[in-house]
Amino acid sequence: MKKVLALFITIITISTSFATEGMWIPSLIDMFHSDMKTYGLNLSAEQIYSTNSSSLKDAVIQFNGGCTAEIVSDQGLILTNHHCGFDAIQKHSSLENDYLKNGFWAGSKQEELACPWLRVTFVKEIRDVTKDVFKGISDDMSDSEKNKIISKNIKALEKAENKGGSITAKIKPFSLGNEYFMLITEDFNDIRLVGAPPSAIGKYGGDTDNWVWPRHTGDFSVFRIYANGENKSAKHNEANVPFKPAHSLPVSVAPKQKGDFTMVYGFPGSTDQHYVSGKLAWIINKERPARIDMRNHSLNVIKPAMNADDLTRIQYSSKQARIANAWKKWIGQLKGLRELDALGKKRKFEEEYMAKAAERTEWKTKYYNVIGDLNKLQEEGGKYEFARSMFIEYFYVGPEFVKYSFEYYKLANSYEKLEAEGTLDKEVERLQSKSKGFYKNYNREVDHAIFNELTQLYIDYVDPELLPLGIKDTWQKQGDLIFEKSLIMNPEKMAAALEKSPKKAAKKLKKDPALKYATSIYMAFVNKVNAGYRAFADKEEKLMQTYVAGMLEMFPEKNFWADANSTMRITYGKIEGSAPYDGMKYTHYTTIDGIMRKHDESNPDFKLTSRFEELYEAKDFGNYMQDNELWVCFTASNHTTGGNSGSPVIDADGNLIGINFDRSWESTMSDFQFDERRCRNIAVDIRYVLWVIDKYGQAPHLVEEMNIIK
């Protein structure tokens, strides 16, 4: 039973440290509230998280599963990032109404644009259910017996809570399976686009400035939540009315100073603070450099093609941004991890951990060997994990025809089944519409060049026995055949063939060189890599659970926080700049003058609209200025990660002062290791947001809806 009890030791430690590391679980507010107060917070714990009365939590929502948004009026008005609303803005854009280029501002609620594909998620309650999930487990059980009981408990607990309707309960593991929390949430599905600045504001600086400080991006967009007549969640319906929230954030235009308290409340996606040294070394020295290399090669093909041709530029802009976003982050992470000797720090902690484990016999049996075991496992199983990473890069981010061709696998190989089930028409329809979407943004010369570059790399990197048989000698020929002869690669012929006779098309597809190639890549992964990877990952999961259990048990004085897992978290710190390198110092804010300084009409990342230039010249910044300056962005020491985009940056009194959207390049390492001296999140200043809405967008009625604090 003792071992089980050890699993229950949660992160209960009274905080004495001043580190701003950590993404804290809001329902455990009592553990970190007093530390927040030492930073200057003026709110009670109840005002931040409560299930009895309204609190800040009720104004913070997950935006479409991946980003965060916040409610800023009693009529359900919400703010998130431009890059989080990008898809919705693009979907509503056409050549006549190019909202990406020109921006969009609804003059009234009638003009707001329905986005039925969007949803936002409210958190009703976060409940620690660790004890209930582990109920019935004993020491003498095997791992699989334990897992069975855990799954059964989780199902029963979820079932007891799920009563149908829009509210759902889901249990998720935290701290590598040492803790479990139930998330009770509610989705709203009638979301409408209210406003967006032009990309020349919302994406100003583009990829050049992405992950970089000093920053001048007005990365925001405006939406509204609608509900039915009873203020309940409902599908999109013209008759729905603006949602009345339990809480909306007041918006502060008051001056800000260095050192002011800040808190970011949102939905960080994932972090990996507990990787052991062997794993981190593998990431730093092997996995990430290979993935960066793969992306270097594809970007080197895409970028010149985009520069040479306007259509290609439009077709590839979003794909290029996606590839480049992680690519640039990874480069920053590796640089930071090396510069700060993250590995050396890990190894030092591992020595400390083992010395601690040696202090007591029971610790020694449980924990002394776990680090060694993990490092050994990485050496043995790393080749499968590496092949898996490379497969993901190649199949999902590499030459696009590979993944696309594989869409035809079902029709080619299960024609009879589809016909018998009566789903054939639907499948054909799916493929016809997939094809339209795919070819709209596809250039075969570009893809062929990417294929040539990346296939060679894929073969060079991956262990030959984990690749399709003979690929090394045949891939070039296969490529030529694919780009010359494949039916899939000829959209008109493919569409006509499907139209005429799906049966004959299915037969032809069976021999199609593109589908054959894609299948060989996919099946090599399934048959040669995946089983090895699963075995490795299962062992690793178990060992990591033990390793972290040891940390929680043996170092109760340390402030442990559970890695991000897309659930609601709070992180706090203060407004501050940083000095990441010798002789170099970043200020904590940027101003509109910096936008003008970067302005360059010959570079698409730094173009401005003439309206913006006119407004700048007119200097009509009104109440939004501080000491004659209009702040655009600021940095603070809040520990954030992907998913925190769109999160509210909140001051000591619970007012909104900015919208989080990025980190500086030197900070990106914080997904593995946080360094207080250099890790800073980047927010767009709320006063710039208001100025753009009010003056640029001429939508002062939106500002009037908000509760503005001077």
Q: Which residues bind ligand ARG (CB under 6 A)?
A: 83, 203, 206-207, 210-211, 321, 325, 642, 645, 662
Marked catalytic residue, from 199, 248, 645, 664: 645
Nearest residue to ligand ASP, using CB?
645
What, of ligand ARG, ligand ASP, none, does residue 675 touch, CB below 5 to 8 Å by kind?
none
641, 655, 664, 673: which one binds ligand ASP (CB under 6 A): 641
What, of ligand ASP, ligand ARG, none, does residue 206 touch, CB below 5 to 8 Å by kind?
ligand ARG
The answer to whether residue 645 is catalytic is: yes
Instruction: In angstroms, give the least distance from the CB of 85 to ligand ASP.
Output: 12
What, of ligand ASP, ligand ARG, none, does residue 207 touch, CB below 5 to 8 Å by kind?
ligand ARG
Q: Which amino acid is at 355?
A: A
What, of ligand ASP, ligand ARG, none, does residue 641 touch, CB below 5 to 8 Å by kind?
ligand ASP
Longest dimension (CA), the chain: 76
Question: CB–CB of 56/49 below 8 Å?
Answer: yes
The stretches of 309-408 forming alpha helices (DSSP H) are 310-339, 342-357, 361-367, 370-391, 397, 400-406
Instruction: In angstroms, give the least distance from the CB of 197 to ligand ARG.
Output: 14
Site string for ligand ASP, 516-555 (x = CB under 6 A): ----------------------------------------
Question: CB–CB of 271/563 below 8 Å?
Answer: yes
Site for ligand ASP in 644-703 (CB under 6 A): 644-645, 661-663
Site for ligand ASP in 442-501 (CB under 6 A): none
- Report the C-alpha gap between 412 and 508 in whole angstroms: 8
Three-state SS for 127?
A: strand
Stretch that binds ligand ASP, among 54-62, 354-362, 611-619, 641-649 (CB under 6 A): 641-649
- Report the C-alpha gap between 344 and 337 in whole angstroms: 10
Counting Cα atoms < 13 Å in the Cβ hemisphere of 196 gives: 32
- Report the C-alpha gap between 48 and 44 in whole angstroms: 7
What, of ligand ARG, ligand ASP, none, does residue 210 touch, CB below 5 to 8 Å by kind?
ligand ARG
Marked catalytic residue, from 33, 82, 83, 639: 83
What, of ligand ARG, ligand ASP, none, does residue 21 touch, CB below 5 to 8 Å by kind?
none
Stretch that binds ligand ASP, among 167-175, 336-344, 440-448, 638-646 (CB under 6 A): 638-646
Q: Is-cis flag, bond preceding 513, omega within 30?
A: no
- Please identify, using beta-carbon distances, which residue of 277 and 565 lies nearer to ligand ARG: 565
Other Cβ atoms less than 10 A from the Cβ of 14: the count is 11
Instruction: In angstroms, give the least distance from the CB of 262 to ligand ARG.
Output: 19
- Report the C-alpha gap between 638 and 30 in whole angstroms: 19
Size of the chain, expressed as the number of residues it contains: 710
The answer to whether residue 599 is catalytic is: no
Instruction: In angstroms, give the least distance from the CB of 664 to ligand ASP.
Output: 9
Asked if 248 interacts with ligand ASP (CB under 6 A), we say no
Instruction: In angstroms, give the least distance from the CB of 394 to ligand ARG.
Output: 22
- Report the C-alpha gap between 52 and 368 in whole angstroms: 44
Instruction: In angstroms, give the least distance from the CB of 66 to ligand ASP.
Output: 8
- Please identify, using beta-carbon distances, which residue of 85 and 550 lies nearer to ligand ARG: 85
- Please identify, using beta-carbon distances, which residue of 131 and 322 lies nearer to ligand ASP: 322
What, of ligand ASP, ligand ARG, none, does residue 406 touch, CB below 5 to 8 Å by kind?
none
- Which residues touch 10 (CB under 8 Å, ≥6 apart)? 128, 130, 178, 179, 552
640, 655, 664, 673: which one binds ligand ASP (CB under 6 A): 640
What, of ligand ASP, ligand ARG, none, does residue 497 touch, CB below 5 to 8 Å by kind?
none
- Report the C-alpha gap between 299 and 443 in whole angstroms: 14
- Please identify, using beta-carbon distances, which residue of 279 and 328 lies nearer to ligand ARG: 328
- Please identify, using beta-carbon distances, which residue of 366 and 663 lies nearer to ligand ASP: 663
Instruction: In angstroms, give the least distance from the CB of 472 to ligand ARG.
Output: 36
What, of ligand ASP, ligand ARG, none, does residue 288 touch, CB below 5 to 8 Å by kind?
none
Three-state SS for 96?
A: coil
- Report the C-alpha gap between 514 and 404 in whole angstroms: 9
- Please identify, using beta-carbon distances, which residue of 321 and 708 lies nearer to ligand ARG: 321
- Please identify, using beta-carbon distances, which residue of 195 and 643 lies nearer to ligand ARG: 643
Stretch that binds ligand ASP, among 173-181, 344-352, 582-590, 642-650 (CB under 6 A): 642-650
- Please identify, using beta-carbon distances, which residue of 524 and 683 lies nearer to ligand ASP: 683
**Residue position matching structure tokens 């972290």:** 548
**Residue position matching structure tokens 């900015």:** 658
- Which residues touch 612 (CB under 8 Å, ≥6 apart)? 200, 201, 696
Instruction: In angstroms, give the least distance from the CB of 322 to ligand ASP.
Output: 11
Instruction: List 251's β-bridge partners, or say none.
Output: 656, 708
Write b or e for each residue in 617-653: b if 16 or more Cβ atoms lie within 10 A of its Cβ, otherwise e: eeeebeebbbeeebbbbbbbbbbbbbbbbbbbbbbbb
Marked catalytic residue, from 209, 219, 260, 671: 219
Write b or e for each residue in 405-443: b if 16 or more Cβ atoms lie within 10 A of its Cβ, otherwise e: bbbbebbbebbeebeeeeebeebbeebeeebeebbeebb
The answer to whether residue 17 is catalytic is: no
Question: CB–CB of 422/474 below 8 Å?
Answer: no
List the one residue out of 705, 691, 594, 573 whose CA is nearest residue 636: 573
List the one residue out of 643, 645, 648, 687 whose CA is nearest residue 60: 648
Instruction: In angstroms, give the least distance from the CB of 65 to ligand ASP.
Output: 12
What, of ligand ARG, ligand ASP, none, does residue 321 touch, CB below 5 to 8 Å by kind?
ligand ARG
- Please identify, using beta-carbon distances, which residue of 67 and 387 lies nearer to ligand ASP: 67
- Report the C-alpha gap between 353 and 356 in whole angstroms: 5
Instruction: List 126's β-bridge partners, or say none.
Output: 183
Q: SS3 for 498-545, per residue?
A: HHHCHHHHHHHHHCCHHHHHHHHHHHHHHHHHHHHHHHHHHHHHHHHH
Instruction: In angstroms, give the least distance from the CB of 702 to ligand ARG.
Output: 23
**Binding interface with ligand ASP (CB under 6 A):** 640-645, 661-663
> Which sequence positions are flagged as catalytic?
83, 219, 645
